[in-house]
C-alpha cells in the first residue's frame, strides 16, 4: 500500500515475462563479450607460465611454437653432435672439432634471429639446456662404442681430466657465440629497418617541400 492506495500485484504471466527479458539481457551481454571480472591469480602474472599454458593448450602462438621446435631440433642434434665432436677433438683434430661446434652454434643463432626477442632468447636457453643435459647421456652411450671401435682398429687416445675440462670450457664458450650471432643479425635487421624508415620519411619531407614550392608559385 502506497499513500493509502493499494499497489496492484503482478500477475504470474507478467513476472514470467520480466524474468525472461532479464535472462535475455544477460545472455545478450554475454554474447557481446561481457564477462564477469575474475581475480588475477598469482601464477598468471609470470609471462613464461602463460606461454607454457598457451603452448599446452595449442593456442595460435607461431613464434613460441617455432622457438620450441627449433630448441628441440638444435638441442637434440647438439646432444648427439657434441659427444661425437669430443671424439673428433681427442683422436682426429682438435681444431676440426671446435670448428664444427662453432658451425652448429652459428646455424642455431641464425635460425633464432628470425624470431622475436623473448621467444628467441628462451629458445636458445632451452637449446643449451637440452644439449648439455642430454649430451651427457649421449656421451655415456657413444664413448664406449667409439673407444672399442678405435681400439680394435688402431689406438684410442684418452684425454686427461685437464684436457677434458678444456674441451668442455671451449665447447661452452663457443656455444655461447650463438647469442652473439643472434644479436648481430638482430641488430643488423633493426639498423636496416631504421634506415629504410628514415629514407621514407626523408622522401616524404622532400615531396612535401616541392609541393609547398609549387603552391607558392
Residue 112 lies in a domain: yes
* Mean pLDDT calculated for residue range 171-191: 89
* Mean pLDDT calculated for residue range 135-148: 89
Q: What is the extent of the structural domain holding 146?
A: 61-179
Residue 123 lies in a domain: yes
| DSSP letter for each residue of 149-215 | HHHHHS---PPPHHHHHHHHHHHHHHHHHHHHHHHHHHHHHHHHHHHHHHHHHHHHHHHHHHHHHHH
Read off the pLDDT of residues 87-100 as tens digits, 9 standing for 90 and up.
999 888 889 999 99
Total number of domains in the chain: 1
Residue 119 lies in a domain: yes
pLDDT at 103: 94
* Mean pLDDT calculated for residue range 101-130: 90
Q: Where are the alpha helices (DSSP H) in 59-116?
A: 62-91, 94-112
Helix 161-216 vs helix 94-112: crossing angle, to nearest 10: 40
Residue 35 lies in a domain: no
Do 119 and 50 meet the contact criterion of CB atoms below 8 Å apart? no
54 or 170: whose pLDDT is higher?
170
Q: How confident is the model at residue 176 (pLDDT cuts 50, 70, 90)?
A: very high
Residue 103 lies in a domain: yes
Q: How confident is the model at residue 56 (pLDDT cuts 50, 70, 90)?
A: very low
Give the integer Cα–Cα distance in Å for 109 and 129: 15
Whole-structure pTM value: 0.61
User: Quick one: which H or E segment has residue 20?
Assistant: helix 12-31
Residue 142 lies in a domain: yes
Residue 94 lies in a domain: yes
Read off the pLDDT of residues 58-88 as tens digits, 9 standing for 90 and up.
444 577 888 888 899 999 999 999 999 999 9
pLDDT at 197: 82
Residue 116 lies in a domain: yes
Amino acid at each position: 500500500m502506497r499513500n493509502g492506495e493499494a499497489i496492484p500485484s503482478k500477475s504470474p504471466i507478467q513476472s514470467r515475462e520480466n524474468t525472461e527479458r532479464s535472462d535475455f539481457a544477460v545472455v545478450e551481454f554475454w554474447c557481446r563479450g561481457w564477462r564477469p571480472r575474475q581475480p588475477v591469480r598469482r601464477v598468471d602474472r609470470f609471462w613464461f607460465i602463460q606461454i607454457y599454458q598457451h603452448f599446452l593448450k595449442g593456442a595460435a602462438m607461431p613464434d613460441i611454437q617455432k622457438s620450441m621446435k627449433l630448441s628441440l631440433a638444435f638441442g637434440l642434434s647438439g646432444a648427439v653432435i657434441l659427444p661425437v665432436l669430443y671424439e673428433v677433438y681427442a683422436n682426429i683434430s682438435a681444431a676440426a672439432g671446435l670448428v664444427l661446434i662453432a658451425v652448429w652454434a652459428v646455424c642455431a643463432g641464425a635460425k633464432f634471429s628470425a624470431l622475436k626477442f623473448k621467444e628467441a632468447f628462451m629458445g636458445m636457453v632451452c637449446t643449451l639446456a637440452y644439449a648439455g643435459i642430454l649430451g651427457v647421456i649421449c656421451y655415456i652411450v657413444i664413448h664406449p662404442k667409439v673407444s672399442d671401435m678405435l681400439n680394435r682398429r688402431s689406438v684410442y687416445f684418452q684425454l686427461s681430466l685437464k684436457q677434458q675440462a678444456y674441451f668442455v670450457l671451449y665447447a661452452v664458450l663457443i656455444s655461447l657465440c650463438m647469442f652473439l650471432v643472434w644479436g648481430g643479425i638482430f641488430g643488423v635487421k633493426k639498423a636496416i629497418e631504421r634506415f629504410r624508415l628514415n629514407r621514407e620519411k626523408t622522401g616524404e619531407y622532400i615531396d612535401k617541400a616541392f609541393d609547398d614550392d609549387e603552391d607558392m608559385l
